Structure formats: C-alpha cells, structure tokens
Structure 1
Amino acid sequence: MMSDNTLAHRAQNATVTEAAHLPPSAPPTNHGRTVAAWTTTWVVVLGGLIAAGGMVAAQAWIFWVGIGVALLGLVVGKTLQVLGHGQGGAATAARAARTGGH
C-alpha cells in the first residue's frame, strides 16, 4: 500500500517538529527612521530628479550631474552610518533615549 502524501494527510499527521529560533535581542524600534537613512533617501531622490531634468532638457551633462549627486548620497549615507547615525548606531541610540524611543 502506498502512503498518503496529500496536503490534508500531512496536516493531520505531522511527523516533523520544527524548532523556532528567536532573535538574541529585541530589534531597534525606530523602524529605520534614522538620520543616515533619511539623508541617503532624499539626496538620492534629488539626484534622480536632477537626472530626470537632464533627460527632459536633452542635456547630457545635467543627467550626469544628477547621477553624481545620487552616488554622493550613497557615500554620505554610508559615512553617516559608520559615524553612528544609522540603525543600531550610538548617535541613533542616544537620540532614541532623548525622544523616548521614536
């Protein structure tokens, strides 16, 4: 006789126990709202708008300036993260302590 391998049979006759692994500590409560994240986002958006303006105006140099601004935003954001203004950073934790965690 062949074993029944349908989904209903497997749901009713569980044969494997799964272990749940919880994270070692609670995750940050700021939901990514950090100085580094916001700065990166808005500088990259500004660069995208400049590049789009260069496309509309058919000016290649404006397009490349916009791309440069967007890349500069990535560098600035990473620098801020390394300086502690990103998720889990010392400056972000100090700011959360001053403002009540949000």
Structure 2
Amino acid sequence: MADHSLAHRAQTPTRTETVHLPPTTPPTNHGRTLAAWTTTWSVVLGAVVAALGVTFTLAWLFWVGMAVIAAGLVLGKVLQLLGHGQGGAATLARAQRRGSH
C-alpha cells in the first residue's frame, strides 16, 4: 500500500515540469488598441440591441443587433489590417508618442 501522507510527500522529492517560454516577449499593450476597443464595444452594443429584441419579441430588432455585431467584427478586422491592431504600425507609433514600450 502506497504512503500518500503529507510527511511522506514532504520527504520524497518530486519531479518538476519543463517550462516552455515564448521565443520573444509579447507586446505589452494587452490588446488596448483602437481595433480591439472598436470590436469589443460594437459587439457589446449589438448584443444589447439583440437582447432587447428577444426581450420585447421584436424579430427585426434582434436582427439589427446581429447586424451591428457583424459590422463591428468586420470594422475591427479592417482596423487591424490598417495597422491599428496589436503590433500594427499605427499602434506602435502611438505607443512611441506616449512613451510606452
């Protein structure tokens, strides 16, 4: 019968896991970019509108909310492609103007 007591575990060395770190340091803006904020708030707004459509049983309002969500996702992707996303040229330029890294 194996001894699983706390005393036994304290006296028996355990194996450690290998840690795999990324090859480079990730950006430090934590997603605080124009593309991220635009996408987030448009999806939140669309979800609220769609929820109101469900609450008041108005199918057209639900679909308007879904269209706002879809438009926000497309707009966020366009902003990312224009350099306003994480690691984009506009985001890096704004970070340099603000003095952050």
Amino acid at match of 1:73: G
In structure 2, runs of 5+ residues without a counterpart are 1-10
In structure 1, runs of 5+ residues without a counterpart are 1-11
CA deviation after TM superposition for structure 1 residue 58, in Å: 1.0
Taking the aligned partners of 1:17 and 1:43, their CA distance within structure 2 comes to 45
State, as a whole percentage, how many aligned pairs show the same letter.
66
**Deviation sequence 1:34-71 (CA, Å, 0-9, x none):** 11000000000000011011111211000000001001
Taking the aligned partners of 1:69 and 1:63, their CA distance within structure 2 comes to 10
Could you say if the C-alpha distance between residues 48 and 17 of structure 1 is closer, same or farther in structure 2, counting changes exceeding 3 Å?
Answer: closer
Q: What secondary structure is seen at the aligned counterpart in 2 of 1:31?
A: coil
Q: Which residue pairs with 2:89 in the alignment?
A: 90
Q: TM-score, normalised by structure 2?
A: 0.78
Q: Displaced runs of 4+ in structure 1, greater than 4 A?
A: 16-21
Q: Which residue pairs with 1:58 in the alignment?
A: 57
Amino acid at match of 1:77: G
Q: TM-score, normalised by structure 1?
A: 0.77
Say how many residue pairs are matched: 100
Q: Which residue pairs with 2:5 in the alignment?
A: none
**Deviation sequence 1:2-61 (CA, Å, 0-9, x none):** xxxxxxxxxx999x9976554332211101111100000000000001101111121100
The alignment's C-alpha RMSD in Å is: 2.3
CA deviation after TM superposition for structure 1 residue 99, in Å: 1.0
Amino acid at match of 1:45: V
State how 1:12-91 maps to structure 2 within 5 Å. Answer: 21-91=20-90
